[in-house]
Amino acid sequence: MKYRIIIGFIILNMACNIQAELVDRILAVVNNDIVTLSEFNKTYARLAMQIRASDYSQAQQRDLLSDLNAKVLDTLIEEMLTAQQASTFEIEVNEKEIDSAINEIKSRHHYTDDEFENVLLMQGSNIKEYREHIRKQKIQSRLVGIMVQSKVVITDDDVKAYYDSHPEQFQSKTTYHLRTIIKRSTSDNAYTEMEQALTAFSAGTPFTELARQYADPPFNETGGLLGSYSLDQLSMQIQDAIKDLQTDSCSKVLKSDQGLQILYVENITQEGGQTLDEATINIRNLLYQTKMEQRYHAWIDDLKEKSHIKILD
């Protein structure tokens, strides 16, 4: 009976070890460290929950989730590489900093302590593991500050070069509010009526009245209302006809596939637009973020090339 108990214990212990081995299967070797399946699963659960709780559409969420497997493993490898680098710089994060970060998260989402712990449980994690995750994030952030951020410099010349090469982002948009008189016919009588309309306009008759009198349907019913457009939304013929006109002025009679047409500029408005001084802060932030990402990826790629990384099947 005693031997049966011992043998049973050995078999049970072996089964537990096999189960643990399955749960903690090694996915990758990074120099002298390993990435395990349990680490992968916890990170995947956390990121998947963030995606599902985001404002992305369902289609966007599906796309993000379909790419998540490869991204999670790559993220864990990068975290391990940066942690190994951080150890050479003796970067440390104290408990108060971690407390502060967690309190900020709870405050932002209006979580009580119990609610926050329940969220972690839903992600397959707990408060101890999450604190370690925060520690790693902060260490990585400080290391990036040393290795990448300190080397990123945006000069005034960089800002001006971006401003000058992207005029469409900073120039004001001119909008023309137009009315029109259109006649489908191009006969001599139709042309004579259009000239009469221009003469009456020059004499002070409001364009809306002239449109009701001379325009073909449906423009006669709306006082010639055409709408509001920027120049790039209009045909070249209409652009040429109105681009030099002032508010409350008319074009000459135009001949087109539609027939005969007069365009009236009821109003011109300017929208948006920024000077270099006004745009500098946003441009500097954009260039800084872009260069940071470029340098970070270059740094990570260099670390990967110099490291022994093996992804296991």
pLDDT tens figures, 221-274 = 999 999 999 998 999 999 999 999 999 999 999 998 889 999 999 999 988 788
pLDDT tens figures, 140-155 = 889 988 999 888 999 9
Confidence label for 90 from pLDDT (cuts 50, 70 and 90): confident
In whole angstroms, give the CA distance from residue 270 to residue 255: 29
Enter the tokens of residue 279: 């745009």
Averaged pLDDT, 71-97: 89
Q: Which residues pair with 265 in a beta bridge?
A: 178, 249
Which residue matches tokens 């040393």?
A: 146
Q: With contact defined as beta carbons under 8 Å apart, do 182 and 216 qualify?
A: yes
Distances (CA, A) of 68 to 51, 257, 311: 10, 55, 16
DSSP for 105-145, written as a single string? HHHHHT--HHHHHHHHHHTT--HHHHHHHHHHHHHHHHHHH
pLDDT reported for residue 73: 92
pLDDT reported for residue 18: 40
Confidence label for 209 from pLDDT (cuts 50, 70 and 90): very high
> Is the backbone of residue 49 left (phi > 0), alpha (psi -120 to 50) or beta?
alpha
**3-state per-residue secondary structure call for 167-215:** HHHHCCEEEEEEEEEEECCCCHHHHHHHHHHHHHHHCCCCHHHHHHHHC
Averaged pLDDT, 57-79: 89
Domains and CATH numbers, the chain: 22-147 (1.10.4030.10), 172-271 (3.10.50.40)
The total number of residues shown for the chain amounts to 313
Outline where the chain has alpha helix (H).
Answer: 2-23, 37-52, 58-66, 68-89, 95-109, 113-122, 127-147, 156-165, 167-170, 188-202, 207-214, 236-242, 276-306
Does 80 have pLDDT greater than 70? yes
- Picking from 7-16, 52-61, 281-290, which range would have the lowest pLDDT averaged per residue? 7-16
In whole angstroms, give the CA distance from residue 264 to residue 182: 11
